[in-house]
Chain A
């Protein structure tokens, strides 16, 4: 099945099996390996991407539904190959250890900050409630997102 979609601002056409998961299309066909499979069940959020402005688990999306969709992955945040402030704060705050959850966390944070520029800590927690981290204990991730909100 041929599907045409916008990935990180560029139009791409792919030809894949219609029930292939968006996660696999991103990683295998488009070589965008930021989104990761942590569970394959929509529980961990490591596969989170933004589709038409909404943060969604790409492991649960069949590619046949993505015709004409506008997709943002963590790779799409870079500006001229440089980390943007939202990514920088994760480094500054020590918010990444193994890094597996990090792309998903950043995507969820991006989605939050797109609609709420001054989130409370509770709102940040709610926004990342669908992203599991086994390393950090979450505090530094919340700190990083709070700092990103403060510094714009």
Chain B
């Protein structure tokens, strides 16, 4: 199978769009390879045509666009970790990147790949959800923006058309009254798929929560926002009582399953405990 493969390595986005228009569905995009090559090695991939986008420098770079930070789809986790713009403005994304795989994976895995792989356990995804990111998607038909929180339609399903490619993801910066948190629960500290993974963006004035966004992975068929819990906490005064209420609400709100990594009960319980732990840090 590997020996039949045809690979195209476009050197411009327009060339890539053309190849995608001609060859999809069927042709698979190869970026860092940290998801795709696992499928190939496991003989789980049927594709013969590959579009290698590694040479598309247009898809690299973290830029400050004023209100938002724009992250090229080919930005690796190592680049996110080292980026001063990310550390300052979306710190939870740098934290999330440190927990992905290990250094060998971080040097090749890309944020675009994490987004399109569409795993409910993708570690960057709860951060993008909590930060209300926008995804830029391109094709021969032009560029469109999709709100990250409307990007997934079901388990491993996205709104992307077969001939589209993710160009970038943009996120608002933390405001002066805001902080972000990231917490991943795994079997070990590296090379672990999460049992639960959470990102929180919260804005407070004294003890009042002005706004709170909670992104969650591995507790539903897609990355989700805990909207009911957010509603409970918005405009609330942070104290032990509300923290306990929030712990119970989020445990009820999530929709985890029992699988090889964990049980439904564990995931519900730990999701609540992680949120409580984060909220206590704010008191």
Contacts and interface: CB of A to CB of B under 8 A. Distances in A.
A145 B32 CA distance: 29
B13 to A, nearest CB: 17
Contacts of B3: 17
A19 B104 contact: no
Nearest to B53: A65
Contact of B189 (A45, A57, A129, A131): A129
Contact of A130 (B5, B52, B78, B190): B190
Contacts of A126: 103, 190
Given A40-B41, A64-B52, A17 B2 contact: yes
B54 interface: yes
- For chain B, the bracket of interface size reads 20 to 34
A60 interface: yes
B143 interface: no
A129 B103 contact: yes
Contact of A64 (B9, B38, B101, B107): B9
Contacts of A62: 7, 30, 33, 37, 50, 52
A48 B108 CA distance: 12
A41 interface: yes
A54 B7 contact: no
Interface string A124-144: 001101111000000000000
B42 A40 contact: yes
A17 B5 contact: yes
Given A57-B104, A129-B190, A64 B7 contact: yes
Contact of A60 (B5, B7, B54, B108): B108
Given A59-B41, A62-B30, A130-B191, A18 B104 contact: no
A147 interface: no
Contacts of A65: 9, 30, 33, 52, 54
A141 B254 CA distance: 42
B7 A61 contact: no
Interface residues of A, number: 30
Interface string A37-63: 000111101001000001111011110
A129 B191 CA distance: 8
A102 interface: no
A108 interface: yes
Contacts of B191: 43, 129-130, 132
B78 to A, nearest CB: 7
A61 B33 contact: yes
Contacts of A45: 102, 104
A1 interface: yes
Contacts of B102: 45, 129-131
A20 interface: yes
Contacts of A130: 101-105, 190-191
Contact of A20 (B2, B32, B190): B2
A127 B103 contact: yes
A55 to B, nearest CB: 6
Interface of B: 2-3, 5-7, 9, 30, 32-34, 37-38, 40-42, 50, 52, 54, 78, 101-105, 107-108, 189-191
Q: Can you list the 4 inter-chain pairs with the closest CB atoms, starting with the nearest?
A: A130-B102, A129-B190, A18-B7, A40-B41
6 contacts: A20-B2, A40-B41, A60-B37, A62-B30, A129-B102, A131-B102
